[in-house]
Structure 1
């Protein structure tokens, strides 16, 4: 690679580098707090999060039918597809940093419109805008964080998006409790509209973030990229090494040191976008094809594992397990949210120490065993009238609760945060944003399908049988992770091609480098 001749570590290590990247990751990941809160806001499945109050209030206040309410809640995943694809192109056009502002703007406008909605149509319009914001937030936060993080801490910092989603969910619980006693017409509007406040704060804080050095290099702004890398690299030598690697990945000759002032003009935006689609979908190289296959498989299995069914329907699961007291139901449901958040924090510290593959394999194996236990417990409990605690064996009820908590723990230590971390770091620079967006689209479609089919599935094969089915899917995911996902810990983003195949990637870089050499005489020294 371009950096092979550079010394591995020259100069004192800068303690401030990780702190600076940490601050950038925190700000970018704030979009995930809003995202998690928004997800919980409009869920219509039993007593989950803030929507347990909001859904009831909306239905009574606007006098809408169950079908209208289900459409309002379930449509989010499909609206987010628009935002995810738009984020991929927007981030390549105006930059990663300002795309975070766009995401915040969508969240803000959606929250305001829903909060002041006087009829179902207006509420749906606000839901659409918020859904687009969800797609933007899911895509841009991990991509930006991965590109500004040093390799030694990339897993830890990129996992913040998953951590903050769970923080948002917990804030949803708090919102539900705080505003549930407000008058009918006011309660749900406050729950929905209050999401505008953190959106505005995020939009302002973004201006304290630097732009992604990878995006700056891709646009020919080498001096700006060098300035950012000097702040986030461990040493000055590492900064120079990373710049050389990024230039090679972008197809810019290593001997070109000045800004490539005409780089953005070498292709029209339309032509450039078509080229990205061609490299990613239409005629991908073997390397990109393997990366795309790994991404789609990882994103699919995360949601096909049944995590939405376990988390979103946990009150129904607990009721089926014989826990019918409201206080006990609330306590066990909240325990799921708290457990999930705490374990994600543990995973964040392990990602760069243990590695991606060990955590992924441990996670999927534990999830499969947990789902078998949950399916077995619910099958035993289901044989008793209405799952009454008095008649169901206490061990079966305990197995259901323990298996649910074990499942969310294993999910949160691996498959939960790993999907964003792994997907954001393996794509080549030019197709990274759009590639991640394609992965998010697969994730959202799978999530929507699983969420909207769970009740029908459980009616057809029993609720216990549903979780046995999910256990089989998770077992398949273990085999997929073992065979298709190489370890990426400690690798720079520019080294990922070595894990999935390098020959064709080198040829592509050589083609682009030839084009940039023609601009050498126009560059700024």
Structure 2
């Protein structure tokens, strides 16, 4: 026992934070991998004119993730964050392999892959919920902002990794190319599983289960002095007590009471707008977008996803640098305005200049991705983590996550259907209008949270509710 304790003692905080956030790699890899696999899959299964099937194959992961996040949150309260991350890695490995060995049995192959990717989505949704929870419970308060940025960096790094893998495999025979692209997702899942085997359980979960001695031991791995550990243990106990009391007094209807409605609408609205603005249409379909713009085969356009991935990684690093230097609302409004214009201007230019260079739309998409990467992409989850009062935080955060995944699923599903029935510039112009509506929403419905304590944010919401109740015409 002493030998094991000493072995665990050697685990560095860097190792814990790296593998604690490594689940973001799975999330990002599976978002990105279908980008490269889809052109080969379409050709191999003759799906070029089956827009709805293409949409379902692409979006099935997000459909499963809607349920995976909620299920993992409940199970992790019972079995622990660490065990559920391990389980997610196993599920991810199994269904990644099953994706790669999809049988070639005509149209039924597409339905097989859709079902398999729905189960894969359970693991993706679980990772998206469990990783931030584990990291927030392990990280010291002063480092939580940077570590939330680390999670975002892991996600976009996973996307970039998948784009590079897709590019390296593109010259294989069509069937082998897409099968290896999908199947190799099992490799980062295996790395995650092996890394998390050495991770400790979160001290917060251990305290909830009454194991204070083990919680103290875990904190000793990642905190500097005994006084800091004692203070944090006391704080966790107090917060857990408050949460138990809050959960006993609240229900789903509480979210829409006059006291909390303003903050719930703000947080859930930002989470929904992040996806309905159309970012994932680019991430999933950029080779097909370039193909439609230029006439070149999508399978020859796999350098463009890598360009997008590099922009996303750089943007996540920019965010970590500017996160606490600008107001949340300012970044969201500036980012949303530029994103909206990046979608609308190609349609305007094409209307005024019908012979517009077809690559113009791709350049504007790069501008969109750049501003999305350091504004709406990371800030949505920072704001969702800050804006909900303690009494409703669990339910409200779950509702925001569900709306986000629903938006992601719908965009992935309907984009190929929309582009099959109208000009590509018109489709992006619709998303651009949604971006502008998002800016208006932030301007009118979202309070500033930077520099405010959680109590001050709650007071803003409460006061806003009182004003609305007194002056309903406002």
Q: State the TM-score, normalized to the length of structure 1.
A: 0.73
Asked if structure 2 preserves the Cα contact closer than 8 Å seen for 1:41 and 1:172, the reply is yes
- 1:350 paired to 2:322: yes
How do residues 125-144 of structure 1 correspond to structure 2 at under 5 angstroms?
Answer: 125-144=115-134
Out of 166, 181, 189, the residue aligned to residue 179 of structure 2 is 189
Give the Å deviation of 1:488: 4.5
Out of 64, 72, 81, the residue aligned to residue 96 of structure 1 is 81
Aligned equivalent of 1:389 = none
Aligned equivalent of 1:201 = 191
Aligned equivalent of 1:84 = 69
Asked if structure 1 preserves the Cα contact closer than 8 Å seen for 2:81 and 2:134, the reply is yes
Structure showing greater radius of gyration is: 1
Aligned equivalent of 1:314 = 286
Relative to structure 1, the CA distance from residue 126 to residue 470 in structure 2 (aligned partners, 3 Å threshold; closer, same or farther) is closer
Relative to structure 1, the CA distance from residue 460 to residue 194 in structure 2 (aligned partners, 3 Å threshold; closer, same or farther) is closer
Asked if structure 2 preserves the Cα contact closer than 8 Å seen for 1:159 and 1:418, the reply is no
| Structure 2 gap ranges (5+) | 1-10, 463-474
Give the Å deviation of 1:89: 0.4
| Structure 1 gap ranges (5+) | 1-18, 43-47, 254-262, 264-271, 384-391, 505-525
Give the Å deviation of 1:76: 2.2
Aligned equivalent of 1:29 = 21
- 1:501 paired to 2:466: no
Give the Å deviation of 1:408: 0.5
Give the Å deviation of 1:297: 0.9
Give the Å deviation of 1:411: 0.3
Q: Encode CA deviations 1:187-240: one digit per residue, 9 max, x unaligned.
A: 433222222222122122113333333333444444444444455457655544
Give the Å deviation of 1:302: 0.3
Q: Encode CA deviations 1:67-104: one digit per residue, 9 max, x unaligned.
A: 55543333222122221110110121112222211211
Out of 28, 38, 52, the residue aligned to residue 51 of structure 1 is 38
Give the Å deviation of 1:410: 0.6
Q: Tell me how far apart the structure 2 counterparts of residues 125 and 312 of structure 1 sit (CA, whole Å).
A: 18
Asked if structure 2 preserves the Cα contact closer than 8 Å seen for 1:40 and 1:51, the reply is no
Q: State the TM-score, normalized to the length of structure 2.
A: 0.80
Q: Tell me how far apart the structure 2 counterparts of residues 66 and 371 of structure 1 sit (CA, whole Å).
A: 22
Out of 275, 282, 293, the residue aligned to residue 303 of structure 1 is 275
Aligned residue for 1:303, secondary structure, equals helix
Asked if structure 2 preserves the Cα contact closer than 8 Å seen for 1:139 and 1:436, the reply is no
Aligned residue for 2:406, secondary structure, equals helix
Aligned equivalent of 2:4 = none
Asked if structure 1 preserves the Cα contact closer than 8 Å seen for 2:31 and 2:284, the reply is no
Give the Å deviation of 1:170: 2.0
Q: In the comparison of the two structures, how many residue pairs are matched? A: 446
Aligned equivalent of 1:279 = 250
